[in-house]
Structure 1
Amino acid sequence: MAGNPSKADFNIQKNTVLCSKTNQYLVEDILGCGGYGQVVSCKKLGTDETVAIKVVKQSKYASGKNEMKILKAIREFKSDKSNIVCFLEHFDYQNQFCLALERLDINLHDFIKCKYFVPLDVNEIRVIAQQLLVALNVLKNMGVTHRDIKCDNIMLVDHVLQPLSVKLIDFGLSTRTYNLTNLRFKQPLSYRSPDVILDLPLDEAIDMWGLGCVLSFLYLGRHLFPSGSEYETLSVMIKLLGQPHDTLLTCAFSTDTFFKCVTGEFTHSWLLKTADEYVKDSGEQIVLRRGVYSDLNSLDDLQNMRPQAKDPFEKADLLSFIDLLKQILDINPSRRITPINGLNHEFITMKHLSGATNSPYVTTSYKKMEKHPETEPEVGESTPPGPSQSQTAEESLDSGKNKADKHSLPPVPNSDSAIRMQRRTYFGKQT
C-alpha cells in the first residue's frame, strides 16, 4: 500500500465506466467521499437506470465485504419490505471493492439542514419512526446489529415524489449481534448509548438508542445530547433520564472512569464525579457548554419546546410521542423498548387518535400514514432465521429496483443568522 500510493489513493472521476461481470455503469456524479471511499451516481448502460455505487478504499476492503454479506442476507430475508437500501450486486474495479445499490435522495441530517434546522411535525416523525422500527425489527430478527444508527445513515427515497419515505443505509460496521463484545467501534457522541460509554455487554439495544437520538433530532432540529466529551454526554443523560441502577454500574467496566464509589456500613453506591473530579482523575480537559438540554430537566419537558397545540388530539399525540421516546431512550438497555414493541406502541398504531373524525390534525395524520402502510402486523418477538436461510442468502444474487434522478433541494443554508431567523419563526423565544 505505502509503495503504491496511486492505488491507495484511487479516486473515481466523472465519465469513468465501472464494469462488473454483467453490467457497465457510467459515473455521472460524485455523491460523497469519506474514510470509507466514495459514493458515485451512475447510469447503467443499456437500461439508463440510475444507481449508486459505493467504491470502498483498499484499506476498508474487509468492511466492504462485510457490508455486502449483510445486505445480501437482508435481501434474502425480507426482500424490499425492510426499509433498508436495496443491494444490487458487488464487483471489483481496479482492485477497488464496489457495491451497486439503489439510488436514494438525501440523508435526514442534510434534509433538516436544508430546512434551516426547523424540525418536523410530530405526525411526520411518526411516519419516519414506523419505517425505521420495521428496519430495526428485520435486523433484530436476523440477529444483526447496525452499530451506526444516525441521521446521516438514513436516506429519503425521494423527497418530492415520496415525501417521508426513508431507508436505512451503510452496513459497513454491522455485525452479528453475538459478536458485539469483540468490537470496539464507538458511535458519534450525540448517538452513543450509555451502554457503550460505560462498557457494558452490548446487544441490538444500541441501535434503538440511536433511533431515539434520531427522533429527538427530528423533533428539536438539534441533537439532544452534547458531543464534546463522554463525561459531558453521560452527565446530560443522567440529568434527563436518571442514573443507571447501582447493580448495572457495578457490572460495567468503565464505571470508575465517571463515577466514585460511596460506601456505607453494609452497602455501596455510585455517584457521578463532578467535572473537576473527572478532569483531575482523567487528565482530560472538558468544556461544559449550553445546549437544548440546558432547558430540560427530563424528557417530559420536551412538550414545552413547541408552541402549545390548540387541538387536544395534537397535544395527546405529542405526549404519546414523548412516551415512546422515553422507552427508546431508557438508560437501562435491558428495559429499552424493542422494535416490535415500538411498532405496537400507540404512537405508531395511532390507537389514541381513533374515533377523532372531526379533528383536522387526526385526519391529516392518518393520510400521512396511509402512504406508508405498515408491514404485516406482529404481536410478539420473532425468532432469528435458521442456518439454511443464511446460507441461501450468501449464495444468491437478485436484481434490485433503481430510482430515477432526483429533484433539486433548496440551497443548503450557509449563514448562521439565516438559520437563527428560521428557527425563531418556529420556536419563538425558545431559541
Structure 2
Amino acid sequence: ESLHVMANKYMIKCKCLGGISSRRQCLFILMILIKIRPYVMTNLELCEGDILHGQTATYTVLRFLGEGSFGMVVESIREAEEEVRLLSFFHNLIIGQLDSERCNVVQFKECFQYMGLTCLVFEMLNMSLWDLLKNHRPVLSISELRPIAQQLLVAFHALKDIDVIHADLKPDNVMLTYQPYRVKLIDFGMALTTSEQGVIMQPAAFRAPEVTLGCVYDFPIDMWGLGCTLVHLLVGTNLFPCCGYQSIKMMVDLLGMPPEDMLNNGRYTKFYFTKEEDGQPNPRWRLLTPDEYSRVNREDPGEPGPLQNDLTTLDDLLNVSALKHASHGAGHEVRPDSTDQPPSIQMPSQAEEVEEGGEIRSSEGELPQTELQTELMTKQRGQTRTVDMFLVL
C-alpha cells in the first residue's frame, strides 16, 4: 500500500522534561513525518512550548530549525542518558526486522502516538557524508571509499532480504559514527516494498534510468544510487545532471542506449526518445535531440552537468578525481594500491544485484584509520553538546 507524506519537513528544537534513566540532559531531534491519503491534506502545527508525551520521556518544543521534503523535524532536549537517535514513519515496518549494528542501518529505539500520528525514535548519528564533504573534505580517496561501499552493500543486502527498496540514497542519507568509525544508512521516508509503474523516486541526480523512463523497478535502483553516491564522494560533484534530459543524454553518451525492452515498456520513454521510421520492419529507438526535446516537452532541455564535457567513459573519472585531489591538496592517493588490478569503473545494470553467495559481514568493513578520521574524532571530542535523538511522526 502506498504511503503518502506531506511535502514539508520542519526541524524544531525541543526540550525533554523527563526520562526513565539518568537525569542528564541530551539534545535530540524530533522528526515528524505526516502520512496523508491522496487529495487529503493533514496539517500539524507545532509551536514553541508545545509538549509531546512519549513512553519514556516528555518533549517540549524549543524552536524550528529548517524544512525539507517529507515531513516535520524538531530538535529537543531529553533528560535521559541515551545515545544519538533518528526517526521515520516507515521504520516500524523495516528497522524492527533488522539487526542495526550488523546491517549498518539506523537503530530503532521507541515508538509512541501523538495526535493520531505514529512517532518513532531512532538513534541520531554524528555527521552525514554530505556534511563531511561540505565542512571537512571536498573529495575522498578510493581507499576511503572502499569500506563505505562495502558497508552500504551490507545494508542494501539486508534490505533486499526483507524486500525493501530504500529509493533515496544520497550523501545526506549516509551517516558517520565514531565508535566504531563507520557508516550507517538512514531516512527510509521513501522506502517501498513494491514498485508502482510511473512513480518517480530517488533524487534527480541519483535516479536510475528505469525510474526516469517510468518502468517497473526493483532493488537495482539502490545499486545505481550507490554508484552515483560513490562518484560524488570521489570527485565532489554529481556524476549526472539534475535535469532529466541531460541526465539521460549523459547516460547514453557514457553507457550506450538503454535496453530495448526498457524503452518499449517505459511510460515516459517518448519524452526522451523517438523511434526511427526508416522503413525497417522493426524501427529502433534513438535519443531526441535538444531541439526535438523542446518541441515534444515544451520545456528547455537544460544545461549539461559539470562532468558532461570531461568524460568519454566512466574510467575518465579517475583522471577527474586526480585533478580534484590535486586542486584541493587532499594529499591522499587516488589510484588503487600497487597490488590492485588496474581499475575499471562500472555502473550496475538493471540485472545486477548484491552477490547472493555467502554472508556479507559488516565487522570486516570498519573505516580505516586516516588523517580524516583523526581530525573528525578530535573535533567530536571537543564538542560540549551531545546530540541524542530523532523522532518521527
Q: What residue ranges of structure 1 are gaps of 5+ in the alignment? A: 2-6, 55-63, 351-364, 372-404, 410-431
Give the corresponding residue for 1:392.
Answer: none
Give 1:266 deviation, angstroms. Answer: 3.3
Structure (1 or 2) with the greater strand fraction: 2
Is this contact kept in 2: 1:89–1:100, CA < 8 A? Answer: yes
Give the corresponding residue for 1:61.
Answer: none
Give the corresponding residue for 1:101.
Answer: 122
Is this contact kept in 2: 1:40–1:53, CA < 8 A? Answer: no
Give the corresponding residue for 1:206.
Answer: 221
Give 1:127 deviation, angstroms. Answer: 1.2
| 2:337 is equivalent to residue 314 of structure 1 | yes
| 2:199 is equivalent to residue 184 of structure 1 | yes
Give the corresponding residue for 2:45.
Answer: 10
Paired residues for 1:216-365 under 5 Å:
216-227=231-242, 229-262=243-276, 263-307=278-322, 314=337, 317=340, 319-320=342-343, 322-323=344-345, 326=346, 329-330=347-348, 332-334=349-351, 336-338=352-354, 340=356
Q: What residue ranges of structure 2 are gaps of 5+ in the alignment? A: 1-35, 37-41, 324-331, 374-379, 385-393
Query: Which SS does the other structure have where 2:176 is aligned?
Result: strand
Give the corresponding residue for 1:353.
Answer: none
Cα distance in 1 for residues equivalent to 2:218 and 2:309: 30
Is this contact kept in 1: 2:63–2:74, CA < 8 A? Answer: yes
Cα distance in 2 for residues equivalent to 1:209 and 1:99: 29
Q: Aligned pair count?
A: 325
Alpha-carbon distance change, 313 to 297 in structure 1, aligned in 2, over 3 angstroms:
closer
Give 1:257 deviation, angstroms. Answer: 1.6
Give the corresponding residue for 1:68.
Answer: 92
1:166 to 183, 194, 200: 183
Give 1:187 deviation, angstroms. Answer: 1.8
Cα distance in 2 for residues equivalent to 1:192 and 1:182: 15
- Calculate the aligned-residue CA RMSD, in Å: 3.6
Give 1:152 deviation, angstroms. Answer: 1.3
Cα distance in 2 for residues equivalent to 1:296 and 1:319: 18
Cα distance in 2 for residues equivalent to 1:107 and 1:342: 30
Give 1:220 deviation, angstroms. Answer: 0.7
Paired residues for 1:23-172 under 5 Å:
23-25=57-59, 33-45=67-79, 47-52=80-85, 54=87, 65-74=89-98, 78-115=99-136, 118-158=138-178, 162-163=180-181, 165-172=182-189
Give the corresponding residue for 2:56.
Answer: 22
Give 1:294 deviation, angstroms. Answer: 1.5
Structure (1 or 2) with the greater helix fraction: 1
Query: Which SS does the other structure have where 1:294 is aligned?
Result: coil
Bigger relative contact order (CA 8 A; separation at least 6): 2
* TM-score for both structures, normalised by structure 1: 0.66
Cα distance in 2 for residues equivalent to 1:42 and 1:148: 26
Is this contact kept in 1: 2:152–2:184, CA < 8 A? Answer: yes
Cα distance in 2 for residues equivalent to 1:341 and 1:288: 43
Alpha-carbon distance change, 306 to 185 in structure 1, aligned in 2, over 3 angstroms:
closer
Identity of counterpart residues, as a percentage?
A: 32
Give the corresponding residue for 1:418.
Answer: none
| 2:230 is equivalent to residue 215 of structure 1 | yes
Query: Which SS does the other structure have where 2:274 is aligned?
Result: strand
Query: Which SS does the other structure have where 1:167 is aligned?
Result: strand
Cα distance in 2 for residues equivalent to 1:93 and 1:310: 50
Question: Per-residue CA shift, 1:259-315, capped at 9, x if unaligned?
Answer: 111244333211111000110111112232351232000101112123399898526
